[in-house]
Structure 1
Amino acid sequence: MFNFTFSLRDLEFFLLIVVRITCFIHTAPFFGMTNTPNRVKIGLGVLISALVYQTLTPVHPEYSTVLMYALYVLKEAVTGIIIGYSAAICVAILNFAGHLVDMEIGLSMVSLFDPVSRDSVTISGTYYQYTVLLMLMISGMYQYVLAAIIETFNLIPVSGAVFNSDKILNAMLTFLRDYLALGFRLCLPVFAAMLLLNAILGILAKVSPQLNMFAVGIQLKILLGLGVLFLTVGMMPGASTAILSEMKKMITLFAEAIT
């Protein structure tokens, strides 16, 4: 049941909730896309904050000056950004794998603007990213992401975040290890096909030196690379599961680092 009793201290508490959730939405994957209007992001943040406020016992921050309250606001903003960032960086694994694939098949010079990462990505990176994000949306990833930020209010009370630099560094190092491992696992089929093709072209260059293997090799690499990408569509559900597991792991590690 909703409680409509509202005081100035309650408003201060509610605004801190709004800051954390809105900053999270601006950095989280899918919700933070640049083609999503800012009004929608802010409106969604306020709506979720109003629902979360009804489930929490107000803990009014103690402060004597406006500057101290501004520090509480800054702390909540950083908390929301860190939690959203921990989910968003997992999408970068797909861009990394796509970049490696395009370097192998000769399409690394072709780039597109990605509204999710707000950066230029390669064709294969875009393919990996949107395919996996679509599967994650179907599987309910957005529900987990929203549930994660709501659950942080039980783990990290409003104005109660304590930033542990050692745990944050450990979380970043863990992500770096998984970033490389998952990225190379995604592009391994293309790597194997390109290795086999390069071996065949090397043998043909020795057998028939008069053939222009450079011109032939570029076309064969593109055709074979695109063919392998088409044949490995079946591995995308497994990739989306791995990305979702990594996202859960990173959100947990970063949330524990600021507890």
Structure 2
Amino acid sequence: MQFDVSFLPALAAAFLLVFARVGMMIMLLPGVGELSIPSRVRLTIALVLAAILLPMHRNAYQIDLQSLGPVITMLFQELLIGAVLGMTARLAVSALQVAGAVVAQQLGLGFITAVDPTQNQQGVIIGNFLTLLGVALIFATDLHHLVIAALDDSYRLFQPGEIPIVGDIAQLMTRTIATAFKIGIQLSAPFLVFGLLFNLGLGVLSRLMPQMQVFFIGLPLSIMLGFALLLAVIGTMMGVFVGYLEGVLGELLRPF
């Protein structure tokens, strides 16, 4: 009894192309693609998702192994598409870093930095806290399901073998960055008002009592009142962020 295995090379090439798109996206996703996550865990997630997506989109890959050039070109296209999907999600989460930086400045904690595990670089400690809280809420609210759905729907937006429209990708990146900055400022708006009123009050107090060391009184008071305000509004802040992130991921489920 003989088995026809002539289809295996083309199937293996298709799997590698799917894995290139999935793996690049997983590498850039916040929460999953961090260096603190073991590489075996990230590799396992990418392999499992690629194995799930391959049967659904196998026919989209028209592979001719007789010529290597088109296969290599398709590989780079798949890497580009995965990078666009993953970077979009990461740029959206960066809104929390913007909000954290503004909040830290208004509370007088802008000089306190720590390593941000989601960015692998130094960041203000409040921004790191908000980012970690946002990533935790992504998984708690099942928004990562939208990421998987966007990955599946990307085969309708970006057909394998077709050159992605650079203008649309640039427009998506620009819009995501601008919206992330706007949302970050909106999330920190209560602290901008707090900082303005608090510093205005300190200015009036220093005029009324010139002999008082306003700085030594104002900084601890600013930190305590700022943390009380953060405790009061953090639920609303994160609710707005989750709604914003859901809208960003939802854009990936339809054409630009």
TM-score calculated relative to the size of structure 1: 0.88
Q: 2:109 matched to which residue of 1?
A: 107
> Counterpart amino acid of 1:140?
D
For the 8 Å contact 1:90–1:246, the answer to whether it is kept is no
> Counterpart amino acid of 1:139?
T
C-alpha displacement at 1:235, in angstroms? 0.9
What CA deviation, in whole Å up to 9, does each residue of 1:49-72 have, x standing for no partner? Answer: 111111224232346543442222
Cα distance in 2 for residues equivalent to 1:20 and 1:135: 25
Cα distance in 2 for residues equivalent to 1:141 and 1:237: 13
Give RMSD over aligned pairs: 2.2
Q: 1:49 matched to which residue of 2?
A: 50
Q: 1:97 matched to which residue of 2?
A: 99
Cα distance in 1 for residues equivalent to 2:243 and 2:8: 46
| 2:84 maps to which of 82, 85, 93 | 82
Q: 1:66 matched to which residue of 2?
A: 68
Cα distance in 2 for residues equivalent to 1:40 and 1:131: 21
Q: 1:130 matched to which residue of 2?
A: 132
Instruction: Find the residue that maps to 2:115 and give its secondary structure.
Output: strand
For the 8 Å contact 1:27–1:84, the answer to whether it is kept is yes
C-alpha displacement at 1:81, in angstroms? 1.0
Cα distance in 2 for residues equivalent to 1:250 and 1:7: 36
Instruction: Find the residue that maps to 1:113 and give its secondary structure.
Output: strand
Q: 1:240 matched to which residue of 2?
A: 241
What CA deviation, in whole Å up to 9, does each residue of 1:37-58 have, x standing for no partner? Answer: 1112112211111111112242
For the 8 Å contact 1:193–1:224, the answer to whether it is kept is no
Q: Does 1:214 align with 2:200?
A: no
For the 8 Å contact 1:97–1:186, the answer to whether it is kept is yes
Q: How does 1:167-246 map to 2 (within 5 A)?
A: 167-246=168-247
> Where do 5+ consecutive residues of structure 1 fail to align?
none
Q: 2:30 matched to which residue of 1?
A: 29
What CA deviation, in whole Å up to 9, does each residue of 1:107-133 have, x standing for no partner? Answer: 112112122222222111122112222
For the 8 Å contact 1:112–1:123, the answer to whether it is kept is yes
C-alpha displacement at 1:244, in angstroms? 1.9
| 1:152 maps to which of 151, 154, 168 | 154
For the 8 Å contact 1:102–1:124, the answer to whether it is kept is yes
Q: Does 1:163 align with 2:186?
A: no
> Counterpart amino acid of 1:191?
L
Cα distance in 1 for residues equivalent to 2:44 and 2:201: 58
For the 8 Å contact 2:146–2:250, the answer to whether it is kept is no
> Where do 5+ consecutive residues of structure 2 fail to align?
none
Change (3 A) 1:156 1:170: closer
> Counterpart amino acid of 1:183?
G
C-alpha displacement at 1:85, in angstroms? 0.6
Change (3 A) 1:152 1:28: same
C-alpha displacement at 1:155, in angstroms? 2.7
Change (3 A) 1:26 1:176: closer
For the 8 Å contact 1:132–1:239, the answer to whether it is kept is no
Cα distance in 2 for residues equivalent to 1:7 and 1:64: 14
